Amino acid sequence: MKKATNEAVMIARYINAFLYEYAPFRKSSSGHTLKSYNYALSLYIGFLETEKGIHTENLHRDCFSREYIEEWLIWLVKKRGCSPQTCNNRLSSLRVFLKYLEIRDISFLSVSKDASMISRRRETHKKVKGMSKEAVQALLSAPDLSTKTGRRDLALIITLYGTAARLDEILSIKVRHLHLDTKNPNVSIVGKGCKIRTLYLLPKAVLHIRKYLKEFHGDTPQAESYVFYSRNIGPAGKMSQPAVNQQLKKHAQTAHALCNEVPLDLHAHQIRHAKASHWLDDGMNIVQISFLLGHEQLQTSMVYLEITTEQEAKALATLEDENDKRISKKWKNDKGSLAEFCGVKTMKK
Pair 14, 100: CB distance under 8 Å: yes
What is the predicted pLDDT for the residue at 160? 94
Helix axes 133-140, 268-281, angle to 10 degrees: 140
* Other beta carbons within 10 Å of 271: 26
Average pLDDT over all residues of the chain: 85
Tens digits of residue pLDDT in 313-349: 554 454 444 444 443 443 455 567 888 877 787 877 6
pLDDT attached to residue 173: 94
Q: What is the DSSP letter of 18?
A: I
* Cα dihedral: 216, 220, 223, 225 (round 10): -30
Three-state SS at 123: coil
Architecture of 133-285 per CATH? Orthogonal Bundle (1.10)
pLDDT band for position 256 (cuts 50, 70, 90): very high
Instruction: Write out the DSSP string of 221-250.
Output: --TTSBSSEETTTEEEEEPPHHHHHHHHHH
Provide the pLDDT confidence category of residue 121 given band limits of 50, 70 and 90. Answer: confident
Contact between 87 and 73 under an 8 Å Cβ cutoff? The reply is yes
Question: What confidence category does residue 258 fall into, taking pLDDT thresholds of 50, 70 and 90?
Answer: very high
Domain boundaries, the chain: 6-125+334-342, 133-285
Lowest-confidence range among 15-19, 225-229, 230-234, 331-335? Answer: 331-335
Task: Report which secondary-structure segment, H or E, holds 183.
Answer: none
Q: Is the pLDDT of residue 287 over 50?
A: yes
Kindly report, residue by residue over 34-87, the tens digit of the pLDDT: 888 999 999 999 999 999 999 988 899 999 999 999 999 999 999 999 988 889
Candidates 179, 36, 173; CA nearest to 27 is 36
φ and ψ of 53, to 5 deg: 65, 30
> How far is the CA of 111 from the CAs of 17, 62, 64, in angstroms?
19, 8, 7
- List the beta bridge partners of residue 200: 186
